[in-house]
Amino acid sequence: MTDAATVAPIAAEGPKRLPWRVATVSAIVEETWRVRSLVLDVPDWPGHRPGQHVDVRLTSEDGYQAQRSYSIASAPESPQLVITIERIEEGEVSPYLAMDVQVGDRFELRGPIGGYFVWTEAVGGPLFLVAGGSGVAPLMAMLRHRAAVGIGVPATLLYSSRTYEDIIYRSELDALAARGDGLRVVHTLTRGAPPRWTGFTRRIDAAMLAEVGFPASEKPKAFICGPTSLVESASRALIDLGHDARLVKTERFGPTGA
């Protein structure tokens, strides 16, 4: 899709429906070789809570429309909205957003959407975040919010990536962990590790969750986001370890989100 084809007229919608807004790309951050973050200016954005998402709609010159959902990666305190896009080779939308979009381009979005998979400082902690791949995006919004409000809620992020080069937000996560405010970031690599790597080198499993996470007796708020297989196995393992199922919240993605 070309830049000129990405914006369609905003149709009138019922009062109970979220309006479509035109977002302008103000900056692009190349996170990894296949992932980029789009920093967006969205007029009249009503604000969001960490963990919510938006719908993005692209319209081609012949009127064909494609719509996908993307988690919001920015904190509510940020003046701009950030979404992080992983390129799916056979995808319809992600290759355009992850490769072709340039600063100044525009497209439609609506949101914020969702209220179940949400964490704010009012929810408290401890906070246990489990991510796979680009599933780290909504969890990053939570960590950015935590840092922005300056609260010391104990928090751990367990993050599974294919390789070291595939770790999204790697430098920022290092910086957040170095603040010394109670955040621990733990990585596991599933498809190869660099020399002198001392972290985990396998998929997330029950033993890893027990070693890294908070004890069930502390009643941590757990948020798990990533591929369906990871989400299902990790959530099931936490419950088997004695965690309250009501405190384990999940969000998953699959190949249709491309």
Cα–Cα dist 8/35, whole Å: 26
Percent of the chain with pLDDT over 90: 83
Backbone angles phi, psi at 44, to 5 degrees: 60, 30
Q: What is the pLDDT of residues 122-142, one digit of tens each?
A: 999 999 999 999 999 999 999
Helix (H) or strand (E) holding 157, with range, is strand 155-161
Confirm whether 3-113 and 127-253 share one CATH topology: no
Q: Are strands 127-132 and 65-71 parallel, antiparallel or unpaired?
A: unpaired
Q: What is the pLDDT of residues 171-201, one digit of tens each?
A: 999 999 999 999 999 999 999 899 999 999 9
Contacts of 191 (CB under 8 A, 6+ apart): 162, 163
Q: Which CATH architecture has domain 127-253?
A: 3-Layer(aba) Sandwich (3.40)
What secondary structure letter does DSSP report for 180? -
Contact indicator for 224, 197 with CB cutoff of 8 Å: no
**Beta bridge partners of residue 251, listed in sequence order:** 225
Length of the chain: 258
What's the pLDDT band for 8 if we cut at 50, 70, 90? very low
pLDDT score of 2: 33
Q: What is the pLDDT of residues 229-238, one digit of tens each?
A: 999 999 999 9
All structural domains of the chain with their residue ranges: 3-113, 127-253
Tokens representing 254? 């699959």
The structure tokens 């959902």 sit at: 69
Residue 63 has pLDDT above 90, yes or no: no
The backbone region for 62, taken as left when phi is positive above 0, alpha when psi lies in -120 to 50, beta otherwise, is alpha
Residue 240 has pLDDT above 50, yes or no: yes
Fold of 3-113: Elongation Factor Tu (Ef-tu); domain 3 (2.40.30)
Q: Are strands 65-71 and 81-86 parallel, antiparallel or unpaired?
A: unpaired
Among 10-14, 66-70, 85-89, 152-156, name the one with the lowest average pLDDT.
10-14
Q: What is the pLDDT of residues 66-90, one digit of tens each?
A: 999 999 999 999 999 999 999 988 7
Within 55-135, where are the H helices? 94-95
pLDDT score of 131: 97
What's the pLDDT band for 153 if we cut at 50, 70, 90? very high
Q: Note the pTM of the prediction, 2 decimals.
A: 0.89
Cα–Cα dist 22/45, whole Å: 10
Cα–Cα dist 126/23, whole Å: 35
Residue 224 has pLDDT above 90, yes or no: yes
% helix, strand, coil for the chain, step of 5: 25, 30, 45
pLDDT score of 254: 57
